[in-house]
Amino acid sequence: MEYVGEHLLPGQIGHFFILVSLIASLTAAFAYFKAVQATPDAKAGWLKLARISFFTEVFAVLVIFAALLHILYYHLFEYKYAWQHTSLSLEFKYIMSAFWEGQEGSTLLWTFWHCVLGVIIIRREKQWEAPVMSVVSFAQFFLATMIIGIYVFDVKIGSNPFILLRDSGVLDEAAGMHVNFDVTQPIRADYLTMITDGNDLNPLLQNYWMVIHPPILFLGFASTLIPFAFAMAGLWTRDIKGWVTRAIPWTLFSVAFLGLGIMMGAKWAYESLNFGGYWAWDPVENASLVPWMIMVSGLHTMLIFKHSGYSLRSSFLFLALSFIFIVYSTFLTKSGVLGDSSVHAFADIGMNGQLFLFLIVFVWLPPFFAAQTNKHRLIITGVTLILSLATYFLAEKIPGFPLYVILAGIATYIVLMNKLVPSVKKEESVSSREFWMFIGSLVFFLAAMIIIFQTSLPVFNKLFNSNKAPGENDEFNYNKIQVLIAFVIGILTAITQYLKYKSTDTKSFLNKMLVPTIISAVVATFILIVVKINYDVHGMGFLINIWLALVATVYATIANAAYIWVGLKGKLKNSGGSVAHFGFGLMLVGMILSSSKKEILSWNTSGIAVPFGEDSKEKTGENLTLVKGVPMQMNDYMVTYVGDSAHPKKEQTYFKVHFKSKTSNEEFTLLPDAFVNYKGNEGLMANPSSKHYWNHDVFTYVSSFYKPTAEGDTISFKPNSININDTIFYSKGFITIEKLAAKDNLPVAGFSKSDTGYTASVKVQELNGSSYSSDLLLIRNAGKTLYQTQDTIMAQSLVLRLEDAGANSVTIGVKESNDVLEYLTLKAYKFPYINLVWAGVIFLVIGSVVAMVRRVRLLKLKAA
Amino acid sequence: MKKIHIILLVLIAGAIAVLVSFLQTTTTYDTVAIAKSKPGKFVHLMAKWDKSLPMEYDAIKNPNYLSFTAIDTLGDKVQVIYHSPKPENFELSERLVMKGKYEDGKFICQSIQTKCPSKYKDQDPSQHPGNKKDSTYNTVATVKQ
């Protein structure tokens, strides 16, 4: 059938080039492999073929990128990707966010960065090009299979970003899209005319950090492959030691950009989500943090090796594991296994098997390269194939089987690698830098292992059919361990730079350490006594641990800043390491301070003592209701909900909330916004808004919102049963019942002796001002209401009446006129010292980049 | 044996001890009936909001009090009390993961995780509600998970 209005060319081009990239990357991997294995004469030929293939792959990826971008930019809704991720109202800047919102786009982004890094390797790493690029191309092949979107014997391989909406199954159940409104009939030729807009980008991703965070994060992801490939190349070519100096700059690059990408994600979470922070130990966050931590450990062991000859085996292990955990993190986020435990994992799109295969292959790749002979390599290839198939069939039958396959791969690698890699027999001196650096790397690595173990709880559930959920305080489970790690790492970061490789003279060490130690002691004491940390929610033990961690991280920050002058005589070009460590320390100090001193401003206890009435046994909450136009006290501020304005094109509302300090002249207005009733669904998706100060942020978001419809005064009396002296709340204040009197024998004409008259004296108290009194009358006979007064308190748009009366309790009907009832509930935090975190990250990244540039220069000098 | 090996062993032993103690703190995902059978014990209750029964939330009276009825896949119901405003995407959600304790006939909830169009949502065509009217196709959002 011919469909009206479709643009099929971009999709056909895109999918064709996906096939090209798949074939080209496989060819490149094979040709580079042969180039390593071949005799010197044959080498040049293979290398040429490999390069042609790789550049073909680069070109193909660029075309795929452009084709998908074209589809999104022109909102070609005949493609599922465009329909699903964009809408006509989506701003141009978010077209990029829409690009990487889906799994396919994010995989493409990852592939793109591999291409860029690959080109740099071909240009710069002549000696290592063939083995390194063989590994890179092999990884590229796997990524290409993720977007190929074909079926082999009913098994779906990859998910094609260029699939048409009508082929994707989305329209299958939509009767209106089919001929004769019958879903068994084919789709109508003019179906596109009925698709007037797309599904739009998820509102939470419509944030500028979502334009920049994914590219940087995926650059970080892609960069972890390079040190891995170098380590593999070292084992493979039997140049066991030579690769380290070449790989160090790449590792520094990876540490810088993966770290930056992760923390940009944290900044996005802080600005766009409302769990009230930048880090929640969410599995998706942890999954990218762990490879970074392992990479940092690997970087340090490589430096140890370069300067002292120790720790080569650890370097091989850490670099291999770092990339393996990148693949594992891809598995975690894309397989849907985190469904119940993470708020932002991708949903399962039926690629679990393929993702797990990716993991198995890359776990068994290191043993392949570490094998002694080609025959062993063949055996390992066979074992990998058998285990992959076995996993497919046995995963359900033997609990834990996939885990054993992974662990077996890692164990095989350790055994084979230890055979190839020599270790230094002589013991390192306790006064040497390498000794303490190694302990630091090890602690950092183990911390990463603990985090990933805790994160993998849902995976263990799947593996062993168990039903374990995180504990009552999930975040605390992480924090209580990591705070101790911060203490150990803080101290080691502080002192290790002052130690010398091989061995250190105690006296000069103590001399150099003296000044930074005294300054740190003063600063830490100042923080503990003046700034104060009293976070005792989890008891005194944890608080003491926080104090210890704070002292250690302050020490790390100051000692490393001082080292730039004490140890390196202020030569900034050489002090990348110290700057990075300074930033790392500062970041940890910021994390400790901002988390332990975070305050909830919107405690519903402040200001006018509003008793909780019928819920008085309940604790006060963390949210404050603001009625439009009525100032409320919130901590040190008077806060007013001034009004709201709607986005011209979207169902997005900006709330204007005005803050005025009670103690100073400070005033400001925040504009938290929310998508209200987004896409026809009821509910609120809120984006926070913050006021930034140099030393703290005031962070607010709207937690619920009510706006009356313009249907007029249809509200009925709301009955409130209460006792004498209790209170009823209304929008601007509360109502107290002061007195209740009952009287028989009413001296009023028209009532009989058995009628009873009740009078309730009520007092209406406006929250910030006047009070009004009113007497409400009710006359009843044998439970039947004969007469009732209605009292209207105009100033408050309030109508009251007495509906029932008992011995000590009454029922008062309360009616509020519609136009006053516009309110929202607000949650507000004070985040102190949050800027230390961001500043720390910036120094960490700058320091790593400075160190990288220096290492690259040194390599050039050596080569010249 | 080198000093470094001793430290290595001690640290690994420490890490394992930490993990074992972590496993002690884990709880379980439960149905309404099981949550009711262990009052006072912290559980993760998996259920959804029973929209046929009234929900109580009045921000004027108390912005930190939400009460509704949850129903699990077996059809068991329990009243849930949550001391916060309605969680984000509450209406959109198809499933709720509620952390809390069953006490005095009610489930007192510390946090509610709504499972609905996740941030990186992916359409599942099989669950698409279809379009009721031709022209409203674009306004139908699919709820996943």
Give the model confidence (pLDDT) of B8-53 as tens digits: 999 999 999 999 999 888 888 889 999 899 888 888 898 888 888 8
User: Is the separation of the CB atoms in A303 and A311 below 8 Å?
Assistant: no
The whole-number pLDDT of residue A796 equals 67
B129 in a domain, yes or no? Answer: no
* Closest residue, chain A, to B82 (C-alpha): A621
Q: What is the CB neighbour count within 10 angstroms for residue A57? A: 29
Do A828 and A812 reside in the same domain of the chain?
Answer: no
Q: Within a 13 Å sphere around the CA of A563, how many CA atoms are in the beta-carbon half?
A: 25
Do A7 and A99 reside in the same domain of the chain?
Answer: yes
Q: Is the pLDDT of residue A824 over 60?
A: yes
* Closest residue, chain A, to B22 (C-alpha): A477
Secondary structure (DSSP) of A298-332: HHHHHHHHHHHS--HHHHHHHHHHHHHHHHHHHHH
| Residue A343 pLDDT class (50, 70, 90 cuts) | low
| Closest CB to A615 among B65, B110, B145 | B65
Q: Is A700 on the interface with B (CB under 8 A)?
A: no
Q: Is A398 on the interface with B (CB under 8 A)?
A: no
CB contacts of A729 in chain B (<8 Å) are: 60-62
- Mean pLDDT on A787-799: 67
Q: Is B118 on the interface with A (CB under 8 A)?
A: yes
Task: Work out the angle at residue A205's Cα, subtended by the Cα atoms of residues A200 and A210, and round it to the nearest 5 degrees.
Answer: 125
| Closest CB to B63 among A450, A613, A625 | A625
**% chain A with pLDDT above 90:** 52
Q: What are A4's strand-pairing partners? A: none
Do A701 and A762 reside in the same domain of the chain?
Answer: no
Q: Which residues contact residue A828 at a Cβ distance below 8 angstroms, ignoring those fewer than 6 apart?
A: A600, A601, A602, A624, A634, A635, A639, A698, A699, A700
Q: Is the pLDDT of residue A263 over 50?
A: yes
B13 in a domain, yes or no? Answer: no
Structure tokens at A512: 């150099």
Distances A778 to A117, A495, A508, A718, A797 between C-alpha atoms, Å: 84, 81, 93, 17, 22
| Residue A245 pLDDT class (50, 70, 90 cuts) | very high
In degrees and rounded to multiples of 5, residue A185 shows phi and psi of: -85, 165
Do the chains contact at B63 and A175, CB–CB below 8 Å? no
Task: Work out the angle at residue A299's Cα, subtended by the Cα atoms of residues A297 and A300, and round it to the nearest 5 degrees.
Answer: 65
Do A6 and A122 reside in the same domain of the chain?
Answer: yes
- Mean pLDDT on A163-174: 85
ipTM, two decimals: 0.77
* Domain C-terminal end among A552, A570, A597: A597
Do A166 and A199 reside in the same domain of the chain?
Answer: yes
- Mean pLDDT on B131-141: 26
Q: Residue A795: what residue type?
A: A
Q: Is B5 on the interface with A (CB under 8 A)?
A: no
B5 in a domain, yes or no? Answer: no
The whole-number pLDDT of residue A746 equals 64
| Residue A80 pLDDT class (50, 70, 90 cuts) | very high
Secondary structure (DSSP) of chain B: --HHHHHHHHHHHHHHHHHHHHHHH-EEEE-HHHHHHSTT-EEEEEEEE-TTS--EE-TTT-TT-EEEEEE-TT--EEEEEESSSPPTTTTT-SEEEEEEEEETTEEEEEEEEEESS-TT----GGG----SSGGGGGGPPPP--
Do the chains contact at B141 and A681, CB–CB below 8 Å? yes
Q: Residue B134: what residue type?
A: D
Pick from A87-91, A243-247, A289-293, A711-715: least confident: A711-715
Q: Residue A834: what residue type?
A: I
CB contacts of A103 in chain B (<8 Å) are: 120, 122
The whole-number pLDDT of residue A296 equals 98
Q: Residue A422: what residue type?
A: P
Closest alpha carbon to A273 in A690, A551, A644: A690
Closest alpha carbon to A277 in A20, A620, A591: A591
A740 in a domain, yes or no? Answer: yes
- Mean pLDDT on A93-115: 93
- Mean pLDDT on A806-817: 76
- Tell me how close the Cα of A198 comes to any Cα of chain B, in angstroms: 6
Do A561 and A658 reside in the same domain of the chain?
Answer: no
Do the chains contact at A340 and B29, CB–CB below 8 Å? yes
- Mean pLDDT on A648-672: 87
Structure tokens at A599: 């305050």
* Closest residue, chain B, to A100 (C-alpha): B120
Do A128 and A191 reside in the same domain of the chain?
Answer: yes
Q: Is B141 on the interface with A (CB under 8 A)?
A: yes
Do the chains contact at B85 and A175, CB–CB below 8 Å? no
- Which among A421-435, A707-721, A749-763 has the top mean pLDDT? A421-435
- Tell me how close the Cα of A9 comes to any Cα of chain B, in angstroms: 24
The whole-number pLDDT of residue A715 equals 59
d(CA A413, CA B102): 49
| Residue A115 pLDDT class (50, 70, 90 cuts) | very high
The whole-number pLDDT of residue A748 equals 58
d(CA A215, CA A202): 18
Q: Is B56 on the interface with A (CB under 8 A)?
A: no
Residue with more model confidence, B118 or A861: A861
Cite the DSSP H helix spans in A340-373: 352-370
- Tell me how close the Cα of A208 comes to any Cα of chain B, in angstroms: 15
Q: Which residues contact residue A541 at a Cβ distance below 8 angstroms, ignoring those fewer than 6 apart?
A: none
CA quadruple B83, B85, B87, B89: dihedral, nearest 10: 160
In degrees and rounded to multiples of 5, residue A168 shows phi and psi of: -80, -10
- What is chain A's mean pLDDT, rounded? 87
Work out how many domains chain B is built from and give that number. Answer: 1
- Mean pLDDT on A788-816: 73
Structure tokens at A573: 């070009």
Q: Which residues contact residue A649 at a Cβ distance below 8 angstroms, ignoring those fewer than 6 apart?
A: A89
Structure tokens at A663: 């103690």
d(CA A602, CA A586): 29
Q: Is B11 on the interface with A (CB under 8 A)?
A: yes
Q: Is B73 on the interface with A (CB under 8 A)?
A: no
Do A56 and A128 reside in the same domain of the chain?
Answer: yes
CB contacts of A345 in chain B (<8 Å) are: 118, 120
A366 in a domain, yes or no? Answer: no
Do A588 and A617 reside in the same domain of the chain?
Answer: no
- Whose structure tokens read 């996939």? A402
Residue with more model confidence, A592 or A686: A592
The whole-number pLDDT of residue A794 equals 56
| Closest CB to B88 among A177, A453, A685 | A685
CB contacts of B46 in chain A (<8 Å) are: 340
HEC letters along A543-577: HHHHHHHHHHHHHHHHHHHHHHHHCCCCCHHHCHH
Q: Which residues contact residue A120 at a Cβ distance below 8 angstroms, ignoring those fewer than 6 apart?
A: none
d(CA A579, CA A577): 5
- Whose structure tokens read 């819920």? A615
d(CA A522, CA A502): 32
CB contacts of B111 in chain A (<8 Å) are: none
B118 in a domain, yes or no? Answer: yes
CB contacts of A198 in chain B (<8 Å) are: 138
d(CA A800, CA A792): 6
Do the chains contact at B125 and A170, CB–CB below 8 Å? yes
The whole-number pLDDT of residue A599 equals 86
Among B62, B95, B97, B106, the residue to mutate for chain A (most A Cβ within 10 A): B62
Do A142 and A53 reside in the same domain of the chain?
Answer: yes
Q: Is the pLDDT of residue B117 over 60?
A: no
Among B88, B108, B131, B140, the residue to mutate for chain A (most A Cβ within 10 A): B88
B46 in a domain, yes or no? Answer: yes
In degrees and rounded to multiples of 5, residue A765 shows phi and psi of: -115, 115
The whole-number pLDDT of residue A54 equals 98
A438 in a domain, yes or no? Answer: no
* Domain C-terminal end among A818, A840, A857: A818
A33 in a domain, yes or no? Answer: yes
Do A53 and A197 reside in the same domain of the chain?
Answer: yes
Work out how many domains chain A is built from and give that number. Answer: 4
What tens digit of pLDDT does each residue of A680-725 get? 555 677 888 899 998 899 999 888 777 665 444 455 677 777 777 7
The whole-number pLDDT of residue A301 equals 97
Cite the DSSP H helix spans in A38-79: 40-73
Q: Residue B90: what residue type?
A: F
Do A698 and A788 reside in the same domain of the chain?
Answer: no
B87 in a domain, yes or no? Answer: yes
Q: Is A730 on the interface with B (CB under 8 A)?
A: yes
| Residue B141 pLDDT class (50, 70, 90 cuts) | very low
User: Is the separation of the CB atoms in B118 and A345 below 8 Å?
Assistant: yes
A114 in a domain, yes or no? Answer: yes
Q: Is A205 on the interface with B (CB under 8 A)?
A: yes
B2 in a domain, yes or no? Answer: no
Cite the DSSP H helix spans in A125-242: 129-146, 209-223, 225-236
What tens digit of pLDDT does each residue of A176-231 get? 888 888 888 888 888 888 888 888 887 778 888 889 999 999 999 999 999 999 99
| Residue A521 pLDDT class (50, 70, 90 cuts) | very high
Q: Which residues contact residue A320 at a Cβ distance below 8 angstroms, ignoring those fewer than 6 apart?
A: A228, A231, A232, A366, A413
Element (H, E) at A863: helix A834-863
The whole-number pLDDT of residue A176 equals 82
Q: What is the CB neighbour count within 10 angstroms for residue A465? A: 10
Do the chains contact at A177 and B131, CB–CB below 8 Å? yes
Among B8, B20, B26, the residue to mutate for chain A (most A Cβ within 10 A): B26
A31 in a domain, yes or no? Answer: yes
User: Is the separation of the CB atoms in A104 and A65 below 8 Å?
Assistant: no
Closest alpha carbon to A475 in A530, A415, A526, A538: A538
Residue with more model confidence, A770 or A293: A293
User: Is the separation of the CB atoms in B107 and B98 below 8 Å?
Assistant: yes
* Closest residue, chain B, to A705 (C-alpha): B59
Under DSSP, the state recorded for A164 is B
| Closest CB to A469 among B26, B65, B89 | B26
- Tell me how close the Cα of A75 comes to any Cα of chain B, in angstroms: 13
Please measure the distance between the N-terminal and C-terminal CA atoms of chain A and give it in whole angstroms.
66
CB contacts of A827 in chain B (<8 Å) are: 85
Closest alpha carbon to A84 in B142, B114, B131, B92: B142
d(CA A508, CA A566): 11
Q: Residue A558: what residue type?
A: I
B109 in a domain, yes or no? Answer: yes
d(CA A161, CA A826): 40
- Domain of A524, in residue numbers: 502-597
What tens digit of pLDDT does each residue of A463-492 get? 888 888 888 888 899 999 999 999 999 999
- Tell me how close the Cα of B128 comes to any Cα of chain A, in angstroms: 7
Closest alpha carbon to B124 in A347, A459, A113: A347
| Residue B133 pLDDT class (50, 70, 90 cuts) | very low
Q: Within a 13 Å sphere around the CA of A581, how many CA atoms are in the beta-carbon half?
A: 30
Residues 221-240 of A with CB under 8 A from B: none
User: Is the separation of the CB atoms in A324 and A294 below 8 Å?
Assistant: no
Pick from A80-84, A281-285, A518-522, A725-729: least confident: A725-729
A627 in a domain, yes or no? Answer: yes
Element (H, E) at A288: helix A283-308
A284 in a domain, yes or no? Answer: no
Residue with more model confidence, A712 or A665: A665
* Domain C-terminal end among A566, A597, A628: A597
- Domain of B118, in residue numbers: 28-122
Residue with more model confidence, A64 or A818: A64
